[in-house]
C-alpha cells in the first residue's frame, strides 16, 4: 500500500470507530442545522478533527479541504475530506454513511479511501495501481444494456434550481433501466459503482468532498467519470455521471436532452 494511502486508511478507521461508537447514542448528540435539510453533528466535527490531525501529523505541509473546517494551508498536495458522508442517515439510525478521504497532487486525484464503518468495508485506490475492497481487486460491472442496469442517484435536497431537469432525467431513466436507487451517501454510491453493485450513477449539486474519493475508485476500477455533459468538470461543478464504459455512454445520451445551461458547466 502506498505510504500516503496507508496514513489515510488509518485516519479513516479512527474516525469510523468514533462514528460507530456514537451511533449507539444518537439521541444524546448535539446537532446543528447548516441549511435546509443539511445537518452537522458533534460527531462530524470530532471525526474531522481526528482525520486532519492524523494527516497533518504525517504531512504537516499539506493542505486540507474538509466539509466542516473548509480550506486550510496551501500546497501541491491537497487532502479532500468528508468525515461523515450521510449525516442525515446517521442521525436517523439508517446504516448508510461513510468516511471519505482523497488526495490531490497538483490537481490530480492520486489516493482515495471510502470507509463504511457499519460493514467494516474499506474501499481504497491509488492512481495507476487499481481499486480494492478489503484487499480484493475491484472492477466495474460488465452490463451493456441500459434496460438491465441498476443506477444510483441522489435527490436534490439543499439546492433546487435544477429540480425540473433532474426530475425529467429521473423520469426517463425510471422507464429505461432495471431500477434506480437513492441510499443517501454519494461517496458510498460511487464506491458501489466501482464495485459493480451499481452499473452507473448520476447526481447534481455535490461538493468536492462528496465526489473525490469515489471518483478515483471508479476510474481505477475501469469505469468512467465525467460531468453531465461528458466533460471533466465534475469536481468544480458538482454534477457527476459515472459508470462502466457502456452504461456511462448511454447515461450521457439519456441525460443530454435535459441539460440546462447550469448543468453543462
Q: What is the mean pLDDT of the chain?
A: 94
* pLDDT over threshold 60, residue 38: no
* Residue 70: strand, helix, or coil: strand
Q: What is the pLDDT of residues 166-194, one digit of tens each?
A: 999 999 999 999 999 999 999 999 999 99
Closest CA to 66 of 31, 41, 102, 36: 102
Q: What integer pLDDT is reported at residue 175 of this predicted model?
A: 96
Residues 6+ apart with CB under 8 A from 209: 65, 66, 67, 80, 81, 82, 85, 100, 102
Q: What integer pLDDT is reported at residue 200 of this predicted model?
A: 98
* pLDDT over threshold 70, residue 98: yes
Count of C-beta atoms within a 10 Å radius of residue 62 = 19
Q: pLDDT > 70: what percent of the chain?
A: 95
* pLDDT over threshold 80, residue 32: no
Q: Which class would CATH give 3-137?
A: alpha beta
Q: What integer pLDDT is reported at residue 36 of this predicted model?
A: 54
**Can you read off the three cell numbers belonging to residue 194?**
466501482
CATH 3.40.190.80 boundaries in the chain: 146-264
Grid look-up 464495485 returns 195
CATH 3.30.540.10 boundaries in the chain: 3-137
Burial class of residue 12 in the structure, from the number of CB atoms within 10 Å of its CB (0-12 exposed, 13-18 middle, 19+ buried): buried
Burial class of residue 158 in the structure, from the number of CB atoms within 10 Å of its CB (0-12 exposed, 13-18 middle, 19+ buried): exposed
Q: What is the CATH number of domain 146-264?
A: 3.40.190.80
Q: What integer pLDDT is reported at residue 263 of this predicted model?
A: 83
CA distances from 37 to 88, 120, 160, 167, 207 (A): 8, 27, 12, 19, 15
Kindly provide the residue ranges of all beta strands, DSSP E only, lying in 86-175, ordered along the sequence. 98-105, 108-116, 121-126, 130-133, 136-137, 150-153
Q: What is the pLDDT of residues 192-211, one digit of tens each?
A: 999 999 999 999 999 999 99
Closest CA to 30 of 18, 21, 43: 43
Amino acid at each position: 500500500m502506498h505510504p500516503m494511502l496507508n496514513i489515510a486508511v488509518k485516519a479513516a478507521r479512527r474516525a469510523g470507530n468514533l462514528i460507530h461508537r456514537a451511533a449507539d447514542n444518537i439521541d444524546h448528540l448535539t446537532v446543528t442545522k447548516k441549511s435546509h435539510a443539511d445537518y452537522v453533528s458533534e460527531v462530524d466535527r470530532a471525526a474531522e478533527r481526528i482525520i486532519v490531525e492524523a494527516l497533518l501529523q504525517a504531512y504537516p505541509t499539506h493542505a486540507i479541504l474538509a466539509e466542516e473546517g473548509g480550506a486550510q494551508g496551501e500546497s501541491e498536495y491537497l487532502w479532500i475530506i468528508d468525515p461523515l458522508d450521510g449525516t442525515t442517515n446517521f442521525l436517523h439510525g439508517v446504516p448508510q454513511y461513510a468516511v471519505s478521504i482523497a488526495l490531490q497532487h497538483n490537481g490530480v486525484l492520486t489516493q482515495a479511501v471510502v470507509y463504511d464503518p457499519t460493514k467494516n468495508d474499506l474501499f481504497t485506490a491509488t492512481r495507476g495501481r487499481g481499486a480494492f475492497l478489503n484487499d480484493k481487486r475491484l472492477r466495474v460491472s460488465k452490463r451493456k444494456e441500459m434496460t438491465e442496469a441498476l443506477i444510483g442517484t441522489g435527490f436534490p435536497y439543499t439546492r433546487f434550481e435544477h429540480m425540473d431537469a433532474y426530475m425529467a432525467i429521473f423520469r426517463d431513466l425510471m422507464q429505461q433501466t432495471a431500477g434506480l436507487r437513492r441510499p443517501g451517501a454519494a461517496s458510498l454510491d460511487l464506491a458501489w459503482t466501482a464495485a459493480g453493485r451499481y452499473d452507473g450513477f448520476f447526481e447534481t449539486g455535490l461538493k468536492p468532498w462528496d465526489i473525490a474519493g469515489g471518483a478515483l475508485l471508479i476510474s481505477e476500477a475501469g469505469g468512467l467519470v465525467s460531468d453531465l455533459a461528458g466533460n471533466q468538470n465534475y469536481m468544480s461543478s458538482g454534477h457527476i455521471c459515472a459508470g462502466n464504459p457502456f452504461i456511462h455512454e448511454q447515461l450521457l445520451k439519456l441525460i443530454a436532452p435535459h441539460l440546462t445551461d447550469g448543468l453543462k458547466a
